[in-house]
């Protein structure tokens, strides 16, 4: 049995298979997920687990080089945005329109759906490398 970190086998399989520049999306409960992208559904009830809880867990398992965030997030959901910035401190962040972020998620290795029920709580995590 795995001792620490994410215990979800589907998430860990995707993370273990990721290479440099591969992406995984962490989504709120409402983000449309294309049928041909792996859906890892963590949602239980409204707001459980939260977007932030899922982001903390998954981002802790990856070497991150960049993240993509909806440019609408800071103005429409400042609390989640502030928490996201704290978690991803030091990682390059690119703001994109929410419509583009939805399109980009179609290229993700997987979309991990949280139970979050607040607007624009979505992020695309781009894998880096662990060597110099």
State the catalytic residues: 20
**In the predicted model, what is the mean pLDDT of the chain?**
97
Task: Write out the DSSP string of 15-61.
Answer: HHH--TT-EEEEE-TT----TTSEEEE---BTTBS-HHHHHHHHHTT
Give 27's contacts (C-beta < 8 A, 6+ positions apart).
33, 51, 105, 111, 112, 113, 114, 116, 121, 122
109 three-state secondary structure: coil
Determine the pLDDT at residue 1: 86
Domains of the chain: 20-127 (3.40.1650.10)
Mean pLDDT of 30-54: 97
Give 48's contacts (C-beta < 8 A, 6+ positions apart).
115
pLDDT at 94 over 90: yes
Mean pLDDT of 91-118: 98
């Amino acid at each position: 049995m795995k001792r620490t970190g994410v215990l979800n086998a589907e998430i860990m399989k995707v993370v273990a298979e990721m290479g440099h520049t591969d992406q995984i999306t962490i989504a709120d409960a409402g983000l449309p997920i294309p049928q041909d992208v792996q859906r890892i559904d963590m949602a239980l009830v409204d707001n459980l687990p939260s977007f932030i809880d899922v982001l903390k867990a998954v981002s802790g398992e990856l070497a991150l080089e960049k993240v993509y965030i909806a440019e609408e997030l800071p103005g429409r959901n400042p609390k989640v945005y502030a928490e996201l910035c704290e978690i991803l401190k030091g990682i390059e962040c690119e703001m994109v329109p929410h419509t583009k972020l939805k399109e980009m998620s179609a290229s993700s290795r997987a979309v991990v759906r949280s139970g979050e029920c607040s607007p624009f709580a979505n992020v695309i995590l781009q894998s880096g490398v662990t060597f110099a």
